[in-house]
Amino acid sequence: MSEELQKKLFDKKENGWVSLNEEEKQNIFDFSKGYMNFLNQAKTEREFVKMARKLADQNGFRDIMEFDTLKPGDKIYFVNRNKSMYLAIVGTESIEKGLHIIGSHVDSPRLDLKPNPLYEDTEMAYFNTHYYGGIKKYQWTTIPLSIHGTIVKANGETIDICIGEDEHDPIFTITDLLPHLAQDQMEKKLKNGIDGEDLNLLIGSIPYGEKGKDQVKLNILNILNQKYGITEADLKSSEIELVPAFKARSLGFDESMVAAYGQDDKVCAYTSLAAMMELENVKNTAVCILSDKEEIGSMGNTGMESHMFDFFISEMLNKLGVNRPNLLDKVFCFSKMLSSDVDAGFDPIYASVSDTTNAGFLGKGISLNKYTGARGKSGASDANAEYVAWVRNILEKNKIQYQIAELGKVDIGGGGTIAYIIANKGADVIDCGVPVLSMHAPYEVTSKYDVYSAYKTYKAFWNA
């Protein structure tokens, strides 16, 4: 009796794997192969956007700048400075009824090179770095790192580099002190154990000649010059990022999880992109945002705070031939958005930071966050009940398992995404993404079940 009543009244969070049949399981594993393969080729925002553009081109999308006019069914994109991208499919419904937007970010925590990166110390050559985003600095020492980026010469010539990913490439690393001599370091607080200024990448040790100062540095520059035709001065106009050289791998004897760098937020970016590639004949205009600079506050011309997104939508309004004063505002006010960013997955080893009745668990499906923010919801975009109900209805109608959670215990910490930026324009927005373990670490963990659940959610949202 009580069992039946419980079934009727309780909101049970079930393990998603349990109720799957073999075919569904296979779909999940197949999808995650594509995901891991993509991750291995898209470790930076530039690489992600390059891959996304290629995929979009293959699926009938074209640069909005190539269109004079737009009509329902047209598939378009705009690439913003090679680091962020907006894609859209024009809906059959009037655009004044609002857009259905899914927005994620393609930048991830990492180490950037300083503007004058190269130096030599006691016959070892180093690149000086400046970390990007919220990292635990000690995690970035003594792991294999690869170098990815773009160097632009004064004459405009652009050189893309990627070293450390191929099996035959060398890798690079940041050294740490041996425990035998680390007595003082080990007494420090964990956050001070490694100084930001000491995150220096070891890149060489052979001198060019026998005599003279900086012979190892000279040898490195000679190698770079032969390989890329650059000099030290060309590093000034470059964006070079250090990321873990690990490949994305299946995790666990049951291979149920993905371990990979940069899953925050490339897991939501990939799943939404994959969903958009399969869309046809949407009612409301479907928009997919792949933004940059989320990890450092969404500022700058490739971040979500910039007006580049407004420009893209205005360009659509112009080319649909409907634009008039204030229409952009109206379109945003009637828009609906999933801010698709990762959630903190509950980690039983660190259970004390989470409220278990309000945490996102691995393997229980996509995680909705009604609000983010910190302490008294400071800085939060809090989705209204009506909108949460609308999103719930889509998920329940499509039999997609989901959970609703918040990021950690009330007074412990908090986080933010791009949700508030689009909410400030007047749209209904809710955070919605994949739970992750070890978020912002060089190797992050997700459940393949949740990855697939995200893909199904995004597809259902756009088809709603």
Residues that bind Mn ion (CB under 5 A): 264-265, 341
- Decide whether 74 or 264 has the Cβ nearer to Mn ion: 264
- Decide whether 266 or 319 has the Cβ nearer to Mn ion: 266
Task: Indicate left, alpha or beta for 8 from its phi (over 0: left) and psi (-120 to 50: alpha).
Answer: alpha
Contact 96, 282 (CB under 8 A): no
Q: Extract the tokens encoding 313.
A: 């939508």
From the list 411, 305, 430, 458, the residue with the least C-alpha distance to 372 is 430
Q: How far is the CB of 253 from Mn ion (least distance, A)?
A: 29
Q: How far is the CB of 419 from Mn ion (least distance, A)?
A: 11
- Decide whether 74 or 450 has the Cβ nearer to Mn ion: 450
- Decide whether 252 or 350 has the Cβ nearer to Mn ion: 350
3-state per-residue secondary structure call for 221-251: HHHHHHHHCCCHHHHHHEEEEEEECCCCEEE
Contact 140, 442 (CB under 8 A): yes
**Main-chain dihedrals φ then ψ at residue 27, nearest 5 degrees:** -60, -40
- Decide whether 234 or 264 has the Cβ nearer to Mn ion: 264
Please state, in angstroms and rounded to a whole number, the distance separating the CA atoms of residues 338 and 371.
Answer: 12
Q: How far is the CB of 359 from Mn ion (least distance, A)?
A: 17
From the list 49, 32, 104, the residue with the least C-alpha distance to 433 is 104
- Decide whether 241 or 341 has the Cβ nearer to Mn ion: 341
Contact 145, 243 (CB under 8 A): yes
Q: How far is the CB of 201 from Mn ion (least distance, A)?
A: 23
- Decide whether 45 or 264 has the Cβ nearer to Mn ion: 264
* Strands 402-405 and 200-204, sheet pairing: unpaired
Closest residue to Mn ion, judged by C-beta, is 265
From the list 435, 434, 42, 39, the residue with the least C-alpha distance to 248 is 39
- Decide whether 299 or 333 has the Cβ nearer to Mn ion: 299
Please state, in angstroms and rounded to a whole number, the distance separating the CA atoms of residues 452 and 198.
Answer: 40
Q: How far is the CB of 133 from Mn ion (least distance, A)?
A: 6
Largest CA distance in the chain: 89
Q: How far is the CB of 415 from Mn ion (least distance, A)?
A: 7
Q: How far is the CB of 437 from Mn ion (least distance, A)?
A: 14
Burial of 2 (0-12, 13-18, 19+ CB in 10 A): exposed
Q: How far is the CB of 204 from Mn ion (least distance, A)?
A: 32
